[in-house]
Homo-oligomer: A and B are copies of this chain.
Amino acid sequence: MTNTNRKWLLAERPEGEPDMDSFELRETDVPSPAPGELLVRTRFLSVDPYMRGRMRDAESYAEPWDVGDALKGGVVGEVIESASAAYDVGDLVTGEGRWADYATLDADEVAPVDPTVADPEAYLGVLGMPGRTAYFGLLEVGEPKPGDTVVVSGAAGAVGSVVGQIATRNGCRVVGFAGSDEKTAWLTDDLGFDAAINYKATDDYRAALDSAAPDGVDVYFDNVGGPITDAVFTKLNLDARVAVCGQIAHYNDEEISTGPRKLPGLISVRARVEGLLVGDFATRFGEASERLAHWVASGELEHRETVVEGLTNAPDAFLGLFAGDNIGKQVVRVSAADE
């Protein structure tokens, strides 16, 4: 272990699409854990679309990042020094850390990582916040019933890929939108989706849905927004449920963009559209983690992580989310187990 800690700061608030100008890498000393804290060496760092919102100076569910502050994010790491009886040096833990080599984390706010269940990076995806978002969002907001048609946008992403698989487990017909043939093949061949639409290969999403969802849409799990969502809304069935989980197509909008009005279409089908935030289910995280870990360990739930190597490439990994570079969960490997 060196005495140097590299960490990424927010250099400036982006307008529209962020670029490297928003980020600055700075070297500081490695911090020391206060009583009750752990010094954690980052193995994997999570980059997530919602972080775009934290780059804004606007009140939202996630605290805004301040210019000049170290960027926060989910990490999996190894305990290097422990000032808590709860964890020993060498333990793997996950929690909210920093875009950095090292960070001190409150031992009460981390969870153990069991590498016998899945590779540690899976604790940032299927076994982490994205997996829990999929679990509660689909089951509690989407309320899928056997025989329902469930459509998922961003279906090859960290959340969408789990949503689709839980929906198939519930006896639903599952249709996913994703942005490459490689992704759609993963959905249908490996994850059990009934159909997948490569939205970069067609402009006519409505026609694609007419074919992939001939009985209409009972549940729409939306990670994306924009024209895909516009098309899905024209196919909603009676009593349809829409879980609005993410709207990545709009995260870089500086003004509220316009689109086809959706409220007039809700009346005749009495659809319900609901914003979703996983934190609202915090008291039930244990239930979700247990079931997801069971499905992963038994091989019933597939998962995939796209790994970018090196802390210096963390901003690129983040920016790549908006280009759809990732399949499954996008993570950054900050250090290897044998370092």
Contacts and interface: CB of A to CB of B under 8 A. Distances in A.
A274 B262 CA distance: 11
Contacts of A262: 262-263
A226 to B, nearest CB: 9
A134 to B, nearest CB: 15
B61 A263 contact: no
Interface stretch (A22-30, A39-47, A250-258): A250-258
A289 B285 CA distance: 44
Nearest to A250: B264
13 contacts: A61-B268, A229-B263, A244-B263, A256-B264, A258-B261, A266-B275, A268-B277, A270-B274, A270-B277, A270-B280, A272-B274, A272-B275, A273-B274
A272 B141 CA distance: 10
Nearest to A262: B262
B257 A261 contact: yes
Contacts of A250: 261, 264
A9 B255 CA distance: 47
Interface in A250-308: 250, 253, 256-277, 280
Interface in A220-270: 222, 225, 229, 244-247, 250, 253, 256-270
